[in-house]
A and B are shown apart, each in its own frame.
Chain A
Amino acid sequence: MFDTTLTWNDLAFLAQGAAMTLAVTAVSVTAGTVLGIIFGVLRVQLGAVWAAPLTFVLDVFRSVPLLIQLVLGNAIQAIAKLGWAPFTTSCVVLSLYTAAYCSEIIRGGIEAVPATTRRAARSLGMTWWQDMRYIVAPLATRVSLPAWIGLTLGVMKDSALVLWLGLIELLRASQILVTRLQEPLFILLICGVIYFVISFPIARFGGYLEKRWSPND
């Protein structure tokens, strides 16, 4: 196992793949979270009945396997002659997928803020927006954070599926090396370690925030 033919160049190749994984994840989680917050707030404000069409669409994104969404998304952009690069298509599909889950997390967070607390805020003359900004947002964030960290880590690993659109992210880069060097265990081990190194700080950062907020709750 230790007389490997893996070179520094190959490691650099893996690092490039990891950079792609990070890029796709960063764009998708950012856009997906922004959309998820908008959809989540909309669903709470509209109520179950009026939000039903939106909820249905989001349920579709949560139910259909991501691989199918990516392939269909790519086909649709081709048919519509949008001319998107695989990176763009991947980010759009992953963002919507993230937004569908995120809206559920946000909705739960907002609904966890007691109606009486919000009523107290409004009774002090705060507007709907001030109540959302200064009372609901901080409290809902505390409730939503663990689930959101889980979602982020999940999306980072799920982003491996964009290799089907031809993007060379971390997993695809590893596969290429495995095919060439025929050292699957060693290379996949390195690949796994890189995934862990990316995930660990995110998980710990979430833990840190939870700990920092906990004495107040």
Chain B
Amino acid sequence: MIEIKDVRKSFSTLEVLKGINLTVNKGEVVTIIGGSGSGKSTLLTCINGLEPINAGQITIDGTVVHAKDTDLNKLRRKVGIVFQQWNAFPHLTVLENVMLAPRKVLGLSKEKAEEIAVKQLTHVGLREKLTVYPNRMSGGQQQRMAIARALAMSPEYMLFDEVTSALDPMLVGEVLDTLKMLAEEGMTMICVTHEMAFARDVSDRVAFFHHGVMAEIGTPDQLFGAPQHPDTQAFLASVR
């Protein structure tokens, strides 16, 4: 369970998160929508401790993320994250990209790491690309590789930060299909996205962020069907 309590975060004088409260249960898929600069992506990087927070508390299965004695490297093994920019390791083949962390972080043998990597790459439809270097693949394929790379650590939670925003429109579908598959398999996920149809399809709950505040949260039917907050209404009207 991920518990976010009154989290505040500023970049110098700009407060991007103004007291966020959100609890995500095991097996739940929560998507976060909202305009740019609303703090959605920042929240994700705070959840796995890539960014410090100024106030409040984030707890993952009882571990306080920003506590001094928390081993973030250990915590990140169970909280995978995939970014807008897929960030392939360009000097490694697709297989090596996915094998690296299981080998070096989890300390698995080469054989075991390879077995896991092949399994995850097959899962995301890249079985044919094992020995290829990332820059020889499309953005959609690289993004799916990044998803397999995160999954190879057997995380219990996955965070997706606008994973389709940097892709050609024709490549968005293949990545969203991968996310849907994960959601159906019961992965606990928090997805920041601009894909409204996707949010509606896969989410248990949808949250709308506006200027660093979670303006509204509810089931897809509630949020898309009958938004309560005027800002939600305005936002949904503008993206339709």
- Contact surface of A with B, Cβ cutoff 8 Å: 114, 116-117, 119-127, 130, 134-135, 138-139, 142, 213, 215-217
Chain A at the B interface: mostly helix, strand, loop or mixed?
helix
Name the A residues within 8 Å of B153 (CB-CB): 124-125
Please judge, given known A-B contacts A116-B83, A123-B76, whether A134 and B90 are in contact too, CB under 8 Å: no
24 A/B residue pairs, CB under 8 Å, sorted by A = A117-B89, A117-B90, A119-B83, A119-B87, A120-B87, A120-B89, A120-B146, A121-B89, A122-B73, A123-B50, A124-B76, A124-B80, A124-B150, A124-B153, A125-B77, A125-B101, A125-B153, A126-B101, A126-B105, A134-B100, A138-B91, A139-B90, A216-B91, A217-B90
The reply to whether the CB of B59 lies closer than 8 angstroms to some CB of chain A is no
Name the A residues within 8 Å of B80 (CB-CB): 123-124
Complexed CA–CA distance, A134 and B150 (Å): 17
Interface centre among A122, A123, A142, A213 (most CB of B within 10 A): A123
Contact: B105 with A116, CB < 8 Å? no
The reply to whether the CB of B85 lies closer than 8 angstroms to some CB of chain A is yes
Name the B residues within 8 Å of A125 (CB-CB): 73-74, 76-77, 101, 105, 153
- Contact surface of B with A, Cβ cutoff 8 Å: 48, 50, 73-74, 76-77, 80-81, 83, 85, 87, 89-91, 100-101, 104-105, 133, 135, 146, 149-150, 153
Name the A residues within 8 Å of B150 (CB-CB): 123-124
Contact: A216 with B135, CB < 8 Å? yes
- List the A residue with the shortest CB-CB distance to B78: A125
Name the B residues within 8 Å of A134 (CB-CB): 100, 104
Contact: B87 with A124, CB < 8 Å? no
Contact: B85 with A124, CB < 8 Å? no
Please judge, given known A-B contacts A120-B83, A125-B77, A217-B90, whether A130 and B105 are in contact too, CB under 8 Å: yes
Nearest first, the 3 closest Cβ-Cβ pairs linking A and B are: A120-B87, A124-B101, A125-B76
Complexed CA–CA distance, A121 and B97 (Å): 10
- List the A residue with the shortest CB-CB distance to B105: A125
Nearest CB on B from A134, distance (A): 6
Name the B residues within 8 Å of A142 (CB-CB): 91
Contact: A217 with B89, CB < 8 Å? no
Please judge, given known A-B contacts A124-B101, A126-B101, A134-B100, whether A217 and B76 are in contact too, CB under 8 Å: no
Complexed CA–CA distance, A215 and B146 (Å): 21
Contact: A123 with B48, CB < 8 Å? yes
Nearest CB on A from B232, distance (A): 30
Name the A residues within 8 Å of B133 (CB-CB): 215-216
Name the A residues within 8 Å of B146 (CB-CB): 120
Nearest CB on A from B103, distance (A): 9
Nearest CB on A from B81, distance (A): 5
Name the B residues within 8 Å of A117 (CB-CB): 87, 89-90
Complexed CA–CA distance, A75 and B83 (Å): 57
Name the A residues within 8 Å of B89 (CB-CB): 117, 120-121, 135
Complexed CA–CA distance, A142 and B99 (Å): 22
Nearest CB on B from A193, distance (A): 38
Complexed CA–CA distance, A20 and B50 (Å): 52
Name the B residues within 8 Å of A213 (CB-CB): 91
Contact: B87 with A217, CB < 8 Å? no
Complexed CA–CA distance, A119 and B50 (Å): 8
Complexed CA–CA distance, A156 and B158 (Å): 53
- 18 new A-B contacts, CB < 8 A, other than A125-B77, A130-B104, A139-B91, are A114-B87, A116-B83, A119-B50, A119-B83, A119-B87, A120-B87, A123-B50, A123-B76, A123-B81, A124-B80, A124-B105, A124-B150, A125-B76, A126-B101, A130-B105, A139-B90, A216-B90, A217-B135
Complexed CA–CA distance, A142 and B100 (Å): 19
Name the A residues within 8 Å of B87 (CB-CB): 114, 116-117, 119-120
Nearest CB on A from B190, distance (A): 14
Complexed CA–CA distance, A216 and B101 (Å): 20
Nearest CB on A from B6, distance (A): 24
- List the B residue with the shortest CB-CB distance to A117: B87
Name the B residues within 8 Å of A135 (CB-CB): 89
Complexed CA–CA distance, A67 and B101 (Å): 49
